[in-house]
């Protein structure tokens, strides 16, 4: 009896540890901090990339090898900063060529994994909100912090397809 309790405790500890190490790719303050270290600064576009990628992980299952990401937005910063958020969260990277960035209006990202497709389009009012921001760093950081907490449906128009 004592032995089985001991084994259960061990199993719990092990489970807790594995959940914690896997849980590093999740919407946490620590993950946002890692993104800032990776990208170099905190901004709303980086943040939006993280949110879109984390949502894709949730819906499609995170798979850095089988997932593809297609981004359409301006190909220069700050808009292109979005791509770094997507890279870090989904593991789709420019080195592996499973992420693409194309010039386009607004901000759109489409994820493909096997027969599943997921598209997220930044809502018009969010684009307007970002365009009307004063150009000081603090305002951009505040908006990024705020966007990190908001409901995904309030930020993006979401479209999911299964091609099978």
Q: How far apart are the first and last CA of the chain?
A: 50
In the complex, the smallest distance separating the C-beta of residue 69 from Zn ion, rounded to whole angstroms, is: 17
Site for Zn ion in 27-56 (CB under 5 A): 43
Residue 91 within binding range of Zn ion, rule CB under 5 A: no
In the complex, the smallest distance separating the C-beta of residue 134 from Zn ion, rounded to whole angstroms, is: 17
User: Is there a contact between 86 and 48 (Cβ–Cβ < 8 Å)?
Assistant: no
Residue 86 within binding range of Zn ion, rule CB under 5 A: no
Which two three-digit tokens encode residue 85?
């958020």
Which two three-digit tokens encode residue 79?
């808009």
In the complex, the smallest distance separating the C-beta of residue 43 from Zn ion, rounded to whole angstroms, is: 4
Residue 81 within binding range of Zn ion, rule CB under 5 A: yes
Q: Tell me how far CA of residue 45 lies from CA of 1, 120, 126, in angstroms.
A: 55, 14, 11
In the complex, the smallest distance separating the C-beta of residue 140 from Zn ion, rounded to whole angstroms, is: 9
Closest CB to Zn ion among residues 35, 118: 35
Which two three-digit tokens encode residue 78?
């700050």
* CB atoms near residue 118 (< 10 Å): 22
Q: Which residues bind Zn ion (CB under 5 A)?
A: 43, 81
């Amino acid at each position: 009896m004592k032995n089985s309790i001991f084994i259960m405790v061990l199993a719990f500890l092990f489970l807790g540890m594995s959940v914690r190490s896997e849980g590093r790719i999740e919407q946490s303050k620590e993950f946002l901090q890692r993104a800032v270290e990776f990208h170099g600064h905190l901004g709303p576009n980086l943040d939006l990339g993280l949110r879109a990628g984390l949502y894709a992980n949730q819906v499609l299952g995170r798979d850095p090898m089988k997932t593809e990401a297609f981004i359409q937005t301006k190909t220069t910063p700050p808009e292109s900063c979005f791509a770094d958020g997507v890279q870090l969260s989904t593991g789709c990277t420019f080195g592996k060529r499973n992420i693409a960035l194309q010039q386009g209006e607004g901000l759109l990202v489409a994820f493909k994994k096997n027969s599943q497709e997921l598209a997220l389009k930044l809502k018009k009012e969010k684009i307007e909100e970002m365009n009307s921001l004063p150009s000081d760093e603090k305002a951009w950081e505040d908006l990024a912090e705020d966007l990190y907490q908001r409901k995904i449906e309030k930020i993006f128009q979401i479209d999911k397809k299964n091609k099978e």
